[in-house]
Structure 1
Amino acid sequence: MTGTRCTIIPGYLLTRIAQAEPELAPAMEFTLRDSADTRGRREIEATRWPGGHAPLQGGILPATMPGQAPPDTRREGMGSATAVPEEATPRRRVHDAEGGTALPGRLVRAEGDPETGDPAVGEAYDGLGSTWELLARVYGRDSLDDRGLLLPATVHYGQSYANAFWDGRQMVFGDGDGLYFTGFTRSLDVIAHELCHGLVQYTAGLTYVGQSGALNESVCDVFGALVSQRVRGQDAQEADWLIGADLLTDRVQGRALRSMADPGTAYDDPVLGRDPQPAHLDDFVDLPHDADNDNGGVHINSGIPNKAFHLFATGLGGRAWERAGQVWYDTLATRGRIPRDVGFAGFAAATLESAQERYADEPEVLDTLREAWAGAGLEVG
């Protein structure tokens, strides 16, 4: 990962709200400043605490010590995948920041503890568990690092904090501003999306700028959608393919933050503007690679690979987390398959390599994958 902390709400939306709503400007500006002040946190943690296991409050020790080589948890190929024992469980710890910004905050629920009566705590706990279940039971991966990594989270972060993020070692959720965004634990796909930035961190480590950054965002949208669909028992055809639908208040003229099925149509709001995502490479948005321009449009151009995955999953039919999701997981988690700065064309070619390796005797998978990428403007194979 690069030095920019990934957040589910891009800065350009927070800026628009701050400009349009004076009473919300302090909260929006703090959210933006907080993100800027903590840029580099993940890279620093990865350097100081290889594998990202910095010690947290409450006696949690790092899995590796400074000076040790960082673990490479990508696998050599599909044959090296290991099953997670049936008796294995996630290791969750949910903390409460109580409106402050000190992390991780007060521990309020550890693995196996009963519900606390706080909906945000329960939603965070369940969302972490559902993401762990997808990785473990479908892809044979034991937590983000494939080594049983602790999954810490903090709720009630800041005052009217309108974002959620993975900071390199834990999840953090704000309660939203209440006017445009609700509490950020309410959306399962958002929890899974942000937690899967940790999966990217421990696998391909996609650089968070330009096309590789858009792929970083897209991969997390993919797994966020898959977690949600698996929990709901939905197949690819019946799923809505929306990301963040549960975050928007009734004030917003829109359905969600993003639509994987139809990028560019998630919202069209007087304040937020119109969803800028393209669905085809011909409409790629070329922006400067800096924070003021969404790191080269990482939240914008992710619509292109999102559309490709949607076409792939719906073209195959059935459960998207099975064959379609497996190809994406193999591409991310197989050592040497993609470099950190991979572009769209390189990633598309790598998914075909993954599909050929695993589904050589199922030509419809390869044909559907080629057609899906072509539908998003990329010819592969």
Structure 2
Amino acid sequence: MDSTVTPRTPATPVFCTIVPPHLISRLAEHHGHVVPTLEHDDRQRTRRREITLEGRTPGEPGEAADKPRRTIYDAEHREDLPGKKVHAEGDEPSADASVNRAHAGLGATFELFLKIYGRRSIDGAGLPLDATVHYGEKYDNAFWDGERMVFGDGDGQLFNDFTIATDVIGHELTHGVTQYTANLDYLGQSGALNESISDVFGSLIKQYSLGQSAEEADWLIGKDLLGPDIDSGQALRSMKAPGTAYDDDVLGKDPQPATMKDFVTTEDDNGGVHINSGIPNHAFYLAATALGGNAWERAGQVWYDVLTGGELAKDAQFADFAALTIAAARARFGDGAEHEALVKAWSQVGVTGKEADGTAAE
């Protein structure tokens, strides 16, 4: 597949948070009132539906687009974006650890997409990468708003500073890549694919930055984000074993299914986009670990080919995506181990093959 297909523009940005609505609701119950995070996220989702991405300045063609242009802002615990500019590309490290972690995470994301897939920033044309730290007061989330990454500090009890997780930064910026390419509808199965693709590349960015093979990776999203008041939890999601990331009195039980047998039908969370994403997440994990080695080289390449290849419909269902990945594996690698791993992985999660229950095609 040709990964240089012209992006579908203008893209419609979607307000995408790393902590899903069902967990934010649990936080509200824990605090005994509607937490600011919940009110804010509802406002932001409404705002993002009303505007489109226009007027962003792409990078210069050629050599300049091969290097990141990162700018970090400080919201100073307010909710005004972008905040005060505190760090630019080429500046010395800051005395603020959150600024340095955000800068490094943006760079790690840029590096994977450039060095492995030849993509110059999230738009493919060197788009500057902006981020805001210290957003809000003890804000328990991080999000991509269509223009920038925004990080809360966490409350220090339930959640830690959101800049600490490289995969979270990669996850949110990958929403930008999806915005500029397939622009998947943020609803139902297409929305769950949108979330899953961000988890996939967020995990790959972490693995690449740590030099980990598929076997060495933990396949957790947001490890170390959960604060000291969470007694039984290791991350926000597990790609290896969806449904096992946490089981806690505060957060409840991780609701993610690993297969179509446990597909969740709900009107919440835009039709369960953060919940049912566990199914394609697990398919990727199964394929990547079956192939072994560096997950970004073969399984990741197939996912990137499909995301950027121009054939993925905005309203694609799991079965549509599965068929495209199987075809992409054959197109790039032939009828070898890659194709076989994809066929088996999607069958194992019940999206294709004899284990499928038909839900994916509806």
Q: In structure 2, how many angstroms separate the alpha carbons of the residues matched to 1:63 and 1:250?
A: 41
In the alignment, what sits opposite 2:4? none
Find the partner of 1:164 among 124, 142, 165.
Answer: 142
In the alignment, residue 289 of structure 2 is paired with which amino acid? T
Taking the TM superposition and a 5 Å limit, the aligned residue runs for 1:210-229 are 210-229=188-207
Identify the residue that residue 352 of structure 1 maps to in structure 2. 326
Deviations 1:204-225 (A, max 9, x none): 0011110000000000000000
The 8 Å contact of residues 184 and 247 in structure 1, kept in 2 or not, is answered as yes
Q: State whether structure 2 residue 236 is matched by structure 1 residue 254.
A: no
Equivalent-residue separation in structure 2 for 1:131 and 1:326 (angstroms): 15
Check if 1:107 corresponds to 2:85: yes
Which residue of 2 is the match for residue 34 of structure 1?
40
Matched, 1:16 2:22: no
SS at 1:185 equivalent: helix
Residue 375 in 1 paired to residue 353 in 2? no
Note the C-alpha offset of 1:20: 2.0
303-312 or 242-251: bigger deviation: 242-251
Deviations 1:62-104 (A, max 9, x none): 459xxxxxxxxxxxxxxxxx9x859921010000000011110
Conserved in 2, the CA contact under 8 Å of 1:287 and 1:297?
yes
Residue in 2 that maps onto 1:241? 219
CA contact (8 A) 2:65 2:125 kept: no
Deviation at 1:43, TM superposition (A): 4.8
Identical positions, percent: 53
Name the CA shift for 1:40/1:136 in 2 (closer, same or farther; >3 Å).
farther
Q: Give the Cα–Cα distance (whole angstroms) in 2 for the partners of residues 309 and 167 of structure 1.
A: 26
Deviation at 1:21, TM superposition (A): 2.5
Matched to 1:172, the amino acid is: V
- CA root-mean-square deviation: 2.0
**Mapping of residues 146-225 of structure 1, within 5 Å:** 146-225=124-203
1:364 aligns with 2:337: yes
* Paired letter, 1:373: W
Q: How does 1:35-184 map to 2 (within 5 A)?
A: 35-46=41-52, 49=54, 53=56, 62-63=57-58, 88-184=66-162
Q: 1:321 aligns with which of 281, 296, 299?
A: 296
Q: Which runs of 5+ in 1 are unaligned?
A: 54-61, 65-81
Instruction: Give the conservation status (yes or no) of the 8 Å contact 1:3–1:39.
Output: no
Q: Deviations over 1:310-361 (max 9, x none)?
A: 00000000000101100000000011x110010000000011121121112x
1:149 Cα deviation from its structure 2 partner = 0.2
Which residue, out of 242, 265, 273, partners 1:298?
273
Question: Alignment length, in residue pairs?
Answer: 342
Contact 2:74-2:135 within 8 A present in 1 as well:
yes
Between the aligned partners of 1:38 and 1:17, the Cα distance in structure 2 is: 18
* Change in CA separation of 1:87 and 1:31 when aligned onto 2, cut-off 3 Å: closer
**TM-score by structure 2 length?**
0.90
Gaps of 5+ in 2: 1-10, 355-362
TM-score, normalized by length of structure 1? 0.86
Deviation, structure 1 residue 16: 1.3
Name the CA distance, whole Å, in 2 between partners of 1:161 and 1:264: 25
Q: Would you say the 8 A contact 1:2–1:208 is kept in 2?
A: no
- Cα deviation digits, residues 9-30 of structure 1 (max 9, x gap): 11221211221224xx46xx21
- Tell me the distance in 1 between the aligned counterparts of 2:133 and 2:126: 22
* Cα pair 1:99 1:156 within 8 Å, conserved: yes
Structure 1 residues 302 and 2: CA distance shift in structure 2, 3 A: farther
Tell me, yes or no, if the aligned pair for 1:206 and 1:213 is still in contact at 8 Å. yes
Residue by residue over 1:297-322, the C-alpha shift from the partner in whole angstroms, topping out at 9 and shown as x without a partner, is 11100000000000000000000010
Output the CA distance in 2 between the equivalents of 1:124 and 1:379. 39
CA distance in 2: counterparts of 1:380 and 1:350, whole angstroms: 15
Matched residues in 2 for 1:63 and 1:179: separation?
39
Partner of 2:108, secondary structure, is helix
Q: Distance in 1 between matches of 2:48 and 2:104?
A: 24
Distance (whole Å) between structure 1 residues aligned to residue 172 and residue 86 of structure 2 = 21
- Secondary structure of 2:66 counterpart: coil
Q: Deviations over 1:143-186 (max 9, x none)?
A: 01101001000000000100000000111000001111000001
Secondary structure of 1:196's partner? helix
Q: Measured at CA, do residues 93 and 187 of structure 1 come closer, stay the same or move farther in structure 2, by a change above 3 Å? A: same
Match among 302, 308, 312 for residue 283 of structure 2:
308
Please give the secondary structure, in 1, of the residue aligned with 2:255: coil
C-alpha distance 338-187 of structure 1, shift in aligned 2 (>3 A): same
Equivalents in 2 of 1:299, 1:92: separation in Å?
28
Partner residue in 2 for 1:6: 16
